[in-house]
Amino acid sequence: MSIRNAETTWTGTLREGKGNMTVGSGAFDVPFSFGTRFADEPGTNPEELVGAAHAGCFSMFLAAQLTAAGFPPTRIHTTADVHFGRDDIGPVIEKIVLNTEAEVLDIDQDKFDELVAVSKEKCPISRALAAIKEFEVNASLVG
């Protein structure tokens, strides 16, 4: 089993504070704030990163499905629209829409649709977002 990691540090209050998100590989270290999450200030936010992860995972899973079925793709381009709103508990991701364009030779629409449906259901990020069977929090109070 692989373990991937990421971390964040938040300093200050929700509205005035600032944070940084990093990934264990060192591939990025990005700032975020209330304004980048709940307003239109330049920068990133957790929902964008969920969208990027979902689009990337889905594209890779679809590539694997297509290849295994004998239709190796030339290119797959996926965008994710993450709808961030509010319910009676608070902020919530309401909906994610993946839009995919794939260049695949010699595949018919029915077979392509079948493999897209499998990928939608079974890519690891789709599965994680659909239902998390185990959730663990390890918290330490420092100070």
Helix (H) / strand (E) containing 7:
strand 6-11
| pLDDT tier at 139, thresholds 50, 70, 90 | low
Q: Give the phi and the psi of residue 43 in degrees, each rounded to 5.
A: 135, -175
- Whether residue 122 contacts residue 61, with contact meaning beta carbons closer than 8 Å, is answered with yes
Strands 73-86 and 91-104: antiparallel
| pLDDT tier at 92, thresholds 50, 70, 90 | confident
Q: Where are the domains of the chain?
A: 1-44, 45-130
Q: What is the pLDDT of residue 87?
A: 85
pLDDT digits (tens, 9 = 90+) for 70-79: 999 999 999 9
- Whether residue 92 contacts residue 114, with contact meaning beta carbons closer than 8 Å, is answered with no
Q: Give the phi and the psi of residue 125 in degrees, each rounded to 5.
A: -70, -40
Kindly report the pTM of this predicted structure: 0.88
Q: In the CATH scheme, what architecture does the domain 45-130 have?
A: 2-Layer Sandwich (3.30)
pLDDT of residue 48 exceeding 90, the answer is yes
> How would you label 61-84 residue by residue, b for 16+ Cβ within 10 Å and e otherwise?
bbbebbeeeebebeebebebebeb
Residue carrying the six token digits 């991701």: 93
| pLDDT tier at 142, thresholds 50, 70, 90 | very low
- Whether residue 79 contacts residue 97, with contact meaning beta carbons closer than 8 Å, is answered with no
Q: What is the pLDDT of residue 130?
A: 78
Instruction: Tell me the pLDDT of the chain averaged across its residues.
Output: 88
Q: What is the pLDDT of residue 100?
A: 92
pLDDT digits (tens, 9 = 90+) for 121-137: 899 999 998 745 454 55
In one-letter notation, the amino acid at residue 140 is S
- Best CA proximity match to 67, nearest among 102, 109, 110: 102
Q: What is the pLDDT of residue 133?
A: 46
